[in-house]
């Protein structure tokens, strides 16, 4: 990721859902920083978009940990156009990549 076909961006726009009470929140997290949603800690390691002449997509490398679950979390790529390719498996929370921003 991050080669000639992807363009680096400075922050990730994430959609967070608390499945228990249907609370949603949009998080804008700068690359290299963390955000918190409920018991989750979300760290954005990188965020990239396809160039203007390619099929639109965004990809972010995320590390997500849950303070209430030992060893459970997410460490990998999420894609805006293909959310099923990178899924946080958590009984309470859902995190999706919406976009990468400048």
Tens digit of each residue's pLDDT (9 = 90 or more) over 17-50: 999 999 999 999 999 999 999 999 999 999 999 9
- 38: in domain: yes
Going by pLDDT thresholds of 50, 70 and 90, the confidence category of residue 2 is: very low
**Domain encompassing residue 39:** 7-101
Dist CA 32 CA 90 (whole Å): 23
> 72 in a domain, yes or no?
yes
Determine what percent of the chain is predicted with pLDDT higher than 90. Answer: 79
The answer to whether residue 90 is domain-embedded is yes
- Return the closest-CA partner of residue 33 out of 62, 58, 69: 62
| 51: number of Cβ within 10 Å | 10
Say what the pLDDT of residue 70 is. Answer: 76
Q: Is residue 86 part of a domain?
A: yes
pLDDT for the residue numbered 72: 64
Among 21, 64, 12, residue whose Cα is nearest residue 39: 64
Q: Is residue 1, in this structure, part of any structural domain at all?
A: no
Q: Read off the pTM.
A: 0.91
Asked, for residue 2, whether it belongs to a domain, the answer is no
Q: Check pLDDT > 90 for residue 71.
A: no
> Is residue 43 included in any domain, yes or no?
yes
Q: Number of folded domains in the chain? A: 1
What is the rounded (10 degree) CA torsion for 85, 29, 8, 17? 20
CA dist 29 and 101 (Å) reads 9
Q: How many CB atoms lie within 10 A of CB 64?
A: 22
């Amino acid at each position: 990721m991050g080669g000639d076909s992807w363009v680096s961006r400075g922050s990730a726009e994430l959609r967070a859902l608390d499945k228990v009470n249907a609370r949603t929140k949009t998080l804008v997290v700068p690359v290299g920083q963390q955000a918190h949603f409920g018991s989750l800690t979300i760290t954005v390691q990188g965020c990239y978009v396809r160039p203007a002449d390619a099929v639109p997509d965004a990809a972010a490398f995320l590390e997500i940990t849950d303070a209430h679950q030992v060893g459970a979390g997410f460490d990998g790529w999420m894609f805006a156009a293909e959310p099923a390719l990178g899924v946080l498996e958590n009984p309470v929370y859902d995190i999706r990549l919406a976009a990468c921003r400048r």
